[in-house]
A = this chain, B = another copy of it.
Amino acid sequence: MLNRSILIGRLTRDPELRYTPAGVAVTQFTLAVDRPFTSNGEKEADFIPVVTWRQTAEACANFLRKGRLCAVEGRIQVRNYENSEGKRVYVTEVIADNVRFLERGEQQESTQSRDEGKQIDIADDDLPF
């Protein structure tokens, strides 16, 4: 009924922009979100996959790069599919409708991007990943 996540972190790699067969832009990247207290020497960040659509996707592809800091607002989505060995695999991603660029790049002008679109017309097998 309500599903809202807000993350601030850094991109682990350059974002990947693809297009669905219907021509809709989709950008994926992974955010490294440092955990607050890691008194022990253990794992200290969560690596959270983020997916953006349409204008937001294109803005992210244009303005975000590996290592860049950004804030992401969206919802947790859990997809599942059968892999080549016939096992069900669960994929959890944050579908972001709002991304804020918190560091200025070289040619960067705008620093915000909000997806106001609906995703109703996009079938699962339309996904490029």
Contacts and interface: CB of A to CB of B under 8 A. Distances in A.
Interface of A: 1-9, 33-37, 39-40, 42-43, 46-48, 69, 71, 73, 75-78, 90, 92, 94, 98, 100, 102, 111-112, 114, 116, 118, 120, 123-124
Majority secondary structure of chain A interface residues (helix, strand, loop or mixed) = strand
Quickly give the copy total for this chain.
4
A51 to B, nearest CB: 13
Contact of A76 (B36, B48, B111): B48
Contact of A92 (B4, B6, B92, B100): B92
A111 B6 CA distance: 18
Given A36-B112, A36-B114, A5 B71 contact: no
